[in-house]
Amino acid sequence: MALKINKNYKKIKKNYIFTEISEKKSNFLKSHKNAKIIDLGVGDVTRPLNKNMVAVINNALNEQLHKKTFKGYPPENGYDFLKKQIVNYYKQRNVSLTIEEVFVSNGACCDVTNILDLFKKNKTIIANPTYPAYYDSNFLQGNAIFLRDANQKNNFVLSPKNLKKRSYIIYLCSPNNPTGTVFTKQQLKEWVDFANLTSSIIIFDCAYESFISDVNLPHFIYEIEGAKKCAIEIASFSKMAGFTNLRCSWSIVPEELNINGYNINSMWSRRQCTKFNGVPYCVQKGAEYALSKNGQLECKKNIQYYKTNLKILTKCLKSLKIECFNSMHTPYVWFKCPQNYTSWQFFDLLLQDYQIVGIPGLGFGTQGEGFFRFSAFASRKDILIACERLKNFAIKKD
């Protein structure tokens, strides 16, 4: 009998959007050799790491030079020093955790996808539009995906209203990539109540929580009563501390989270101890520093830099009468393509006439059609050049 392959790998759409973007970009450069393209597409940090943090990492690495301080395998779920620091970080928002509830990992992307190992085929709720990894990993697993609109009609807010009362795996992302929406406590409470009522599990992705400016908005789902009974939370040092290259993230799996008599905390621990071997000591020392008092202040400076970029970009777009939906709680501005352009038409226009690259909303789902995402993860200089170029858009339009 032949080997049984996971055929979903053949059925899944290629991730055309990013391939197509980079092909269009390189084709353009072939015919415009001296063009200086401003890339506001990719959601990746660009600010250098803080030197105090790098010194901490270098020192930790140097411990590997000496017999007495040399370290072998890291603990699969993270060193206690970092888990304690994360517990303290949650205390700032009055959330109590035990260190057994904290799992250090090498990327939010890994955890939001690998968590599916704990389940068999289920029904999954995913927002449309949304970050593609939720969809792709659930598709590969063979789950029945229920895409639920979070579009202009409902202010891009995903809600459980009128949802059939059965058990789902529910992906929530707040602040949302790409739309910038942040759940209020009330909106998030509706999801927690729904999940507890239906024995669903929420995978709460808060990778952008450090960008939230309004103290009244929840950073963590555990700020909502009842969340520990239904939700896993996945967070990251990537955007907060510029760690996209260094790879460090964490997940919170509450000890009291039981689904049909299965304790998800001990299952996740078993999964990680079997299939994952931890994050380097020096990286975890850097992460510990990022959450220290000084570290947080330094990280905030970079976040502020990106936010100022975002303000400049948003102001420029608004001056062109472009409708913007960003709420300043992410590094992205989500806006409606002007003049009823489709998102790919607008992409081509921006590339050809302004040498600016962004992400067509369609790349995040069908409900992203007609919308566009700019990233503020760029240098101030590039942001200003982009704005200068875009001014001509108004002139051409008139």
Within residues 25-54, the interface with a copy of itself by CB under 8 A covers 42, 44-49, 51, 54
- Is residue 395 within the footprint of a copy of itself (CB under 8 A)? no
Cα–Cα distance for residue pair 227/250, rounded to 1 Å: 17
Contact status, residue 126 vs residue 146, Cβ threshold 8 Å? yes
Tokens of 394: 């108004």
Q: How far is CA 317 from CA 310, 327, 362, 389, in A?
A: 10, 14, 20, 11
H-run or E-run covering 186: helix 185-198
- Is residue 137 within the footprint of a copy of itself (CB under 8 A)? yes
Q: Which of residues 325-344 bind a copy of itself (CB under 8 A)?
A: none
Backbone angles phi, psi at 104, to 5 degrees: -80, 135
- Is residue 189 classed exposed, middle or buried when 0-12, 13-18 and 19+ CB atoms within 10 A define those classes? middle
- Is residue 114 within the footprint of a copy of itself (CB under 8 A)? yes
Q: Which of 280, 358, 363, 365 binds a copy of itself (CB under 8 A)?
A: 280
Q: Which of 29, 44, 37 has its CA nearest to residue 357? A: 37
Which range of residues in 30-38, 62-70, 321-329, 340-348 is near a copy of itself by CB under 8 A?
Answer: 62-70
- Is residue 164 classed exposed, middle or buried when 0-12, 13-18 and 19+ CB atoms within 10 A define those classes? exposed
- Is residue 65 within the footprint of a copy of itself (CB under 8 A)? yes
Maximum Cα interatomic distance, the chain, rounded to a whole number of Å: 72
- Is residue 99 within the footprint of a copy of itself (CB under 8 A)? no
**How many Cα atoms occupy the beta-carbon half-sphere of 128 within 13 Å?**
13
Q: Which of 24, 28, 37, 61 binds a copy of itself (CB under 8 A)?
A: 61
Q: Which of residues 68-97 bind a copy of itself (CB under 8 A)?
A: 70-74
Q: Which of residues 157-176 bind a copy of itself (CB under 8 A)?
A: 166-169
Q: Which of 203, 235, 252, 283 binds a copy of itself (CB under 8 A)?
A: 283
Shortest gap between Cβ of 332 and a copy of itself (angstroms)?
15
Contact status, residue 176 vs residue 326, Cβ threshold 8 Å? no
- Is residue 118 within the footprint of a copy of itself (CB under 8 A)? yes
Backbone angles phi, psi at 202, to 5 degrees: -100, 130
Q: Which amino acid is at 370?
A: G
Q: Which of 99, 163, 259, 394 binds a copy of itself (CB under 8 A)?
A: 259
Q: Which of residues 211-230 bind a copy of itself (CB under 8 A)?
A: none
How many C-beta neighbours within 10 Å does residue 73 have? 8
- Is residue 273 within the footprint of a copy of itself (CB under 8 A)? yes
Cα–Cα distance for residue pair 78/73, rounded to 1 Å: 11
Shortest gap between Cβ of 166 and a copy of itself (angstroms)?
5
- Is residue 384 within the footprint of a copy of itself (CB under 8 A)? no
Q: Which of 304, 366, 379, 392 binds a copy of itself (CB under 8 A)?
A: 379
Q: Which of 28, 119, 146, 341 binds a copy of itself (CB under 8 A)?
A: 119
Shortest gap between Cβ of 156 and a copy of itself (angstroms)?
25
- How many residues line the site for a copy of itself (CB under 8 A)? 79
Shortest gap between Cβ of 302 and a copy of itself (angstroms)?
11
Q: Which of residues 174-203 bind a copy of itself (CB under 8 A)?
A: 199-201
